[in-house]
Structure 1
Amino acid sequence: MSYDRYVAICLPLNYSVIMSGRFCILLLAFSWVAGFLMSLVFTLQVAQLPFCGDNEIDNFVCEFTNLLKLACAHPLANQIVLFAMTGSVALATFLVIITSYVHIIRVILKIPSTEGRRKVFSTCSAHLVVLAMFYGTGAATNLKPSSISLGHEKPAALFYTVFAPMLNPIIYSLRNEEVKKAARKVMHRRQSVL
């Protein structure tokens, strides 16, 4: 999405050539294959762990880090692989996002009119909110040693697996003028009732 915004804002005349249907399918296929391969590696690692005793996961989701806590053996090698893989994927996507938005901000600052800047920034603001919600909670729960418990793992896991995806359509639709008008109408009715 950040690359799409970069191309739309920084290279608008080349948008249809760069973001062709074929390129979008390649991006989608790459995402699916990368996700599948990461899941396969984690599944193979969990399959090799010895489990004994308590078999209840103390969380809402059955994630790799939660399964590591149930292992009888010390899963240091698995933790290293988990940290390396999630860290490298998070770092790579973060660098693409930051690079895209640095270029976008550079272009926004060159726009002479305030209204033009506001319009361009509004096309990116929804994406930035969604990124902050997803990456913030995901990083807080996954990019720490599993032996450290901060006490916020359950709410954070619930937020980034349920609430963030559920809020995506709402956040992105707030840019739509008809949705804004309907929201204002509902808020106005609510205020007049109170």
Structure 2
Amino acid sequence: MTKIVIASGNQGKIKDFKAIFSDFEVVGIKEILPNFEVEETGTTFKENAILKSEAASEELNLPVISDDSGLSVEALEGRPGVYSARYSGENATDEKNNAKLLDELKGVENRAAYFTCVLAISIPGEETRTYEGTLAGEILTEAHGDGGFGYDPLFKTLDGVYLGTIKAEEKGKISHRGKALEKLMNDKEVFKKLQK
């Protein structure tokens, strides 16, 4: 089975990738390089995704996919954005981040928000390519379901789907990550190189 390396230690993301890439062996970078860390100094999802994929690809001398993603809330001027994972501070957890978001949106009527995912693919000796996907919806006033990870339990899509209540396979078909991966898979030339 073809192995695809993901430059992420986030088990929620790895699970999403496994659900979408069900015909491949998906391996998180920490399984190969337990101490792999990249400081996310970029100010955009794209910059951070490229930082991670290039560092991992260079170290392994293999093709690597990385993902930088997050939630942007209209009423919060796009926050938490690139700081989604560490929104509640240095020792952030999904629970703390969700609590902070709900607190900041107390009494706010406009709850429009969207998820963004930028995938970067670094192949040794080639220029890094990126693919972007988004998912629009709104922030709920309380959590629905305990599925997914991150802000999923607080998010309802424009079609009325509660992200925290659906399986990873279903989420993969509609999510920002799923849409970005679809663009990657449609880029046949690159996807072929990834499978070597």
Q: Taking structure 2 as the reference length, what is the TM-score of the superposition?
A: 0.26
Structure (1 or 2) with the greater helix fraction: 1
Q: Which has the larger radius of gyration?
A: 1
Higher relative contact order (CA 8 A, sep 6+): 1
Q: Taking structure 1 as the reference length, what is the TM-score of the superposition?
A: 0.26
